[in-house]
Amino acid sequence: MTLPPIKVFTGNANPALAKEICDGLGVPLGAATVRRFPDGETFVQINENIRGSDVFVVQPTCSPANECIMELLIMVDAMRRASANRITAVMPFFGYARQDRKDKPRVPITAKLVANLLTAAGVSRVLAVDLHAQQIQGFFDIPVDHLFASPVFYAHIRNKPWVREATVFSPDVGGLKYAAAIADHLQLPFGFVAKRRTSDTTVQATSLVGEVEGRDIILVDDMTETAGTLTAAAELLKKNGARSVRALVSHCMLQEPAYPRLRGGPIDEVITTNSVPVDPKGLPITVLSIAPLLSDAIKRIHGNSSVTDLFKVKGY
């Protein structure tokens, strides 16, 4: 059976990543116009024939989240009306993932709403990286391939000299399972930092559980915006004798409060991915590419072969 042609398109969220993915696949980036009308509405036109094609739309729903989501929805609608055979939303970062439950009275479950919108628009499948909450996969009635950035991090750090005497730490109790999985893979001890959030941008680290003194600490988290949680944890770790503190962060969506916290702060290095555009601004931030990871996953989806076998992380 002949497979339908593969087409890769992108919105304005992260075109550089989409181009890298296309280079890995050996296909050109699809031609599309995605722009704004003067009143802010989004206009989309697909500028090539996609009838019967296997279409992949690369669009992390990062800042500005609402604009990126609308771009994605409108692109998918245009592709569905252009008779694409299958449409896969490649979302290296899935926005609104933190609103995955009702933790207060009369609040929405926005992650579920976004899932409904994507399905209603015509998405056939979703490809995501390091979802903030794994239960989000269950919000969809279509297949969701959940990849992990861990293999990219492992390849980068496994031969670093500071890994030999490191302890993997989660900056909060919620990330302990992920920290334990990474520690198990690297055969390192692990621990966590207890924290108390005092506002949307301010966090107070209160206590530590784990081996710290004289150790090189690897803080792992799925995302950061203001770096409040990471820097509060790093300060407490340094006060308790940590030799160095490095952060592995899958999605680094740095906002203005983050830069003064990281500049000359307690974190020696932030290692992140290009799931969203990252501007280091001269800070010790190392950006690793997940394009090969996504290219390989897209090849497998297109060829109807297993993605899970390749990207499943033991224990997570």
For residues 45 and 67, membership in a common domain is answered with: yes
Give the range of the structural domain holding residue 85, as residue numbers without chain letter: 6-148+291-311
Report if residue 88 sits inside a domain: yes
Mean pLDDT of 58-82: 97
**249 in any annotated domain:** yes
Give residue 233's pLDDT.
92
CA dihedral for 174, 179, 184, 188, sign (positive or negative): negative
- Per-residue pLDDT at 315 exceeds 60: no
Residue 184 is predicted with a pLDDT of 86
- Using CA atoms, how far apart are residues 163 and 228, in angstroms rounded to an integer? 24
Which pLDDT belongs to residue 199? 63
Does a structural domain hold residue 129?
yes
Mean pLDDT of 241-267: 95
Q: Of the ranges 23-27, 63-67, 130-134, 288-292, which one carries the lowest mean pLDDT score?
A: 130-134
How far CA 53 is from CA of 56, 88, 100, 256, in Å, comes to 9, 11, 33, 41
Q: Is the pLDDT of residue 90 over 70?
A: yes
Same domain, 21 and 144: yes
**143 and 196 share a domain?**
no
* CATH code of the domain containing 193: 3.40.50.2020
Same domain, 140 and 167: no
What pLDDT is stored for residue 311 in this prediction? 58
What is the Cα–Cα distance from 192 to 32, expressed in whole angstroms?
46
Q: Are 154 and 144 in a shared domain?
A: no
| Inter-residue contact 232 to 206 (CB < 8 Å) | no
Q: Are 184 and 300 part of one and the same domain?
A: no
Cα distance between the two ends of the chain: 36
Closest CA to 88 of 61, 48, 138, 128: 128
Verify that 10 and 143 share a domain, yes or no: yes
Distance of CA 165 to the CA centre of its chain: 28
Q: Is this model's pTM higher than 0.85 or not?
A: yes
The yes-or-no answer on residue 195 being catalytic is: yes
* C-alpha to C-alpha distance for 161 and 56, rounded to whole angstroms: 39
pLDDT in the model for residue 197: 66
* 316 inside domain: no
Active-site position among 7, 112, 195, 238: 195
* Average pLDDT of the chain to the nearest whole number: 92
- Count up the domains in the chain and report the number: 2
Q: Are residues 270 and 296 in the same domain?
A: no
Question: Per-residue confidence at 172, pLDDT binned at 50, 70, 90?
Answer: confident
Q: Which of 11-15, 50-54, 226-230, 274-278 shows the lowest mean pLDDT across its residues?
A: 226-230
Residue 32 lies in a domain: yes
144 and 154 co-located in one domain:
no
Residues 182-229 have pLDDT tens digits of 888 889 999 998 866 666 656 666 779 889 999 999 999 999 999 998
Do both 67 and 182 map to the same domain?
Answer: no
Q: Is 60 exceeded by the pLDDT of residue 280? A: yes
Shared domain for 154 and 274, answered yes or no, is: yes
pLDDT at 314: 45
Q: 312 falls in which pLDDT band (50, 70, 90)?
A: low
Report the number of secondary-structure helices (H) and strands (E) in the chain. 9, 14
Q: What's residue 310's pLDDT?
A: 60
Mean pLDDT, rounded, for 276-285? 95
Residues 307 and 279 in one domain: no
Share of the chain above pLDDT 90, in %: 81
Specify if 1 maps to a domain: no
